[in-house]
């Protein structure tokens, strides 16, 4: 996948200007997109991410990363980034024809910002970048839909809430059961579903939540933390789920997707590292290992405010005890006080140097991005290879958004 000889020098010449202003370009793109196609705000785009600017940052980072790779390393395109975006698209039922809508508005935003530099040839060159990226995403998404035996318009189905479990003061687990006879494939450990929630203004808002327990397709479990807005409004969908959805209610859920999936076939030790609500995909992976009667060595490292804030702690400890060789360590910012039978408890923020880690292990990270960056750096300093570290990001993937 390479740029044409005509487009490559044009992208090389304009990439610095686009890279410098890509955040502004992304903002203008979304503003125009929603003005031209307001229907996309009903069920497709997360307006909470739009309000916070994180979706704009993620788009900017992904476009800049892809264009930079086409120019500087065409044989090493950002496959991890593309796969993550494709899974997110599939979880929303994105259709191939919607790429044309995005193209028209994104190229307008780029050429509008370039101003005097803009020519028909430059617009065409950036259009080529876009379609190369779209082609790569479309190829991955076709495989994802085929693997789940669905089409974009059939990823949704209704599930009935069987249980609503209060985990902590601001975390709730929902256990849902299928209410029709359509075949449902089990989720893979680490994947997420999208909830399409009706909101008071009559539209629907999508949110992704990790599946926090292994399933067989008949029942599914996901865990939701109430989003507190600080100076901004509280989370729209998490508040509705906490306050208005009860046992017996129906929810529209997508089939599961997600690029970060447990690989327990290689026979390597597993190390799960999480902070706060980042425990949810780790809980799902632990549950899978128990269900599979795994004999692999497992280590869980978790950081939280206190033991009372440790969501899913009962399920997690039960699963740890159900494994042949497993240990769990916790770091509590409010002090190492608690009643849980853990292998070790520490005060303050997580420091992986305080515990022994197995050789040749596979690592899975989930939590706030600054936390994951710190842990990733600490692990690589200890000699862990980057390819042995996978991470899950809640919301837009800002790990790749450092485009300045």
Are 13 and 115 found together in one domain?
Answer: yes
Are 140 and 165 found together in one domain?
Answer: no
* Distance (Å, whole) CA 328 – CA 274: 11
Cβ pair 171, 226 in contact under 8 A: yes
> pLDDT digit of tens for each residue in the chain (404 aa)?
789 999 999 999 988 888 788 788 888 888 898 899 998 888 888 877 666 666 776 777 788 888 889 998 888 888 888 999 999 999 999 999 999 998 998 888 888 887 755 678 888 998 999 999 999 999 999 999 999 999 999 999 999 999 999 999 999 999 999 998 887 889 999 999 999 999 998 999 999 999 999 998 889 999 999 988 765 567 889 999 999 999 999 999 999 999 999 998 889 999 999 999 999 999 999 999 999 999 999 999 999 999 999 999 999 999 999 999 999 999 999 999 999 999 999 999 999 999 999 999 999 999 999 999 999 999 999 999 999 999 998 865 545 544 33
Cβ pair 205, 195 in contact under 8 A: no
* Distance (Å, whole) CA 144 – CA 138: 10
Domain-embedded: residue 262: no
List all residues 6 or more positions away from 31 whose beta carbon is below 8 Å from its beta carbon. none
Domain-embedded: residue 264: no
Are 357 and 303 found together in one domain?
Answer: yes
Given 147, 182, 201, the domain boundary residue is 147
Classify residue 255 by its DSSP letter: P
* Distance (Å, whole) CA 38 – CA 21: 25
Cβ pair 269, 246 in contact under 8 A: no
Given 129, 147, 165, the domain boundary residue is 147
Of 359, 399, 394, 396, nearest to 379 (Cα)? 359
Are 108 and 234 found together in one domain?
Answer: no
Of 312, 357, 62, 358, nearest to 211 (Cα)? 312
Neighbours of 139 (CB within 10 A): 11
313 CB-side CA count, 13 A: 22
Q: What total number of domains does the chain contain?
A: 3
Are 393 and 276 found together in one domain?
Answer: yes
Catalytic residue positions, numbered: 99, 141
Determine how β-strand 204-210 pairs with β-strand 326-332.
unpaired
Cβ pair 214, 189 in contact under 8 A: yes
Chain-centre distance for alpha carbon 153: 21
* Distance (Å, whole) CA 77 – CA 75: 6
Given 102, 118, 147, the domain boundary residue is 147
Task: Look up residue 301 and give its two tokens.
Answer: 């490292």
- pLDDT value at position 404? 31
Are 184 and 96 found together in one domain?
Answer: no
Which class for 134: exposed (0-12), middle (13-18), buried (19 or more C-beta within 10 A)? middle
Q: What pTM was estimated for this model as a whole?
A: 0.91
- pLDDT value at position 234? 74
Are 21 and 142 found together in one domain?
Answer: yes
Domain-embedded: residue 38: yes
DSSP-assigned beta bridge partners for residue 164: 174
Domain-embedded: residue 1: no
Domain region containing 15: 7-147
Neighbours of 128 (CB within 10 A): 18
The pairs formed by 208-211 with CB atoms below 8 angstroms and a separation of 24 or more are 208/88, 208/91, 208/394, 209/280, 210/258, 210/280, 210/281, 210/284, 210/366, 210/392, 210/394, 211/187, 211/256, 211/280, 211/281, 211/284
Are 359 and 321 found together in one domain?
Answer: yes
What's the alpha-carbon Rg for the chain, to the nearest Å?
A: 22
* Distance (Å, whole) CA 218 – CA 222: 14
Are 75 and 181 found together in one domain?
Answer: no
Domain-embedded: residue 259: no
- pLDDT value at position 292? 95
> Angle, nearest 10°, between helix axes 98-114 and 7-20?
70
CATH of the domain at 179: 2.40.30.10
Of 398, 390, 375, nearest to 65 (Cα)? 398
CATH of the domain at 362: 3.40.50.80
For the chain, how many helices (H) and strands (E)? 11, 12
CATH of the domain at 135: 1.10.490.10
Are 84 and 205 found together in one domain?
Answer: no
Task: Look up residue 42 and give its two tokens.
Answer: 């009903």
Are 220 and 329 found together in one domain?
Answer: no
- For residue 301, give the H/E element and its range: strand 298-304
Task: Look up residue 146 and give its two tokens.
Answer: 């085929």
- pLDDT value at position 402? 41
What is the per-residue burial (b if ≥16 Cβ within 10 Å, else e) of 371-385?
bbebbbeebeeeebe
């Amino acid at each position: 996948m390479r740029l044409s000889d005509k487009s490559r020098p044009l992208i090389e010449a304009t990439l610095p200007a686009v890279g410098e202003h890509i955040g502004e370009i992304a903002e203008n793109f979304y503003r125009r997109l929603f003005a031209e196609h307001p229907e996309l705000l009903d069920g497709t785009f997360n307006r909470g991410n739009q309000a916070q600017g994180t979706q704009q940052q993620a788009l900017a980072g992904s476009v800049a990363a892809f264009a930079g790779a086409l120019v500087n390393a065409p044989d090493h395109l950002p496959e991890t980034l593309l796969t993550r975006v494709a899974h997110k698209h599939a979880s929303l039922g994105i259709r191939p024809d919607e790429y044309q809508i995005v193209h028209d508005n994104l190229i307008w935003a780029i050429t509008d910002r370039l101003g005097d530099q803009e020519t028909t040839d430059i617009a065409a060159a950036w259009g080529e970048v876009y379609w190369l990226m779209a082609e790569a995403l479309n190829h991955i998404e076709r495989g994802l839909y085929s693997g789940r035996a669905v089409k974009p318009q059939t990823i949704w189905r209704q599930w009935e809430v069987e249980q609503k479990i209060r985990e902590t003061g601001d975390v709730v687990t929902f256990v849902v059961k299928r209410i029709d006879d359509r075949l449902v494939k089990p989720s893979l450990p680490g994947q997420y579903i999208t909830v399409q929630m009706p909101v008071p203004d009559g539209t629907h808002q999508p949110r992704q939540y990790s599946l926090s327990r292994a399933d067989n397709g008949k029942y599914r479990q996901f865990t939701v933390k109430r989003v507190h807005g600080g100076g901004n409004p509280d989370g729209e969908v998490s508040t509705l789920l906490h306050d208005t959805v009860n046992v017996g209610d129906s929810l529209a859920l997508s089939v599961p997707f997600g690029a970060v999936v447990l690989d327990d076939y290689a026979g390597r030790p597993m190390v799960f590292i999480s902070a706060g609500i980042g425990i949810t995909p780790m809980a799902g992976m632990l549950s899978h290992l128990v269900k599979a009667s795994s004999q692999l060595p497992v280590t869980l490292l978790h950081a939280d405010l206190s033991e009372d804030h440790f969501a899913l702690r009962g399920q997690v400890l039960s699963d740890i005890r159900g494994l042949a060789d497993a240990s769990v360590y916790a770091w509590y910012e409010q002090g190492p006080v608690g009643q849980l039978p853990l292998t070790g408890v520490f005060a303050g923020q997580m420091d992986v140097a305080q515990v022994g880690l197995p050789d040749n292990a596979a690592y899975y990270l989930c939590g706030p991005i600054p936390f994951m960056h710190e842990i990733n750096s600490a692990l690589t300093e200890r000699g862990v290879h980057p390819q042995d570290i996978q991470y899950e990001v809640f919301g837009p993937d800002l790990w790749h958004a450092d485009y300045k």
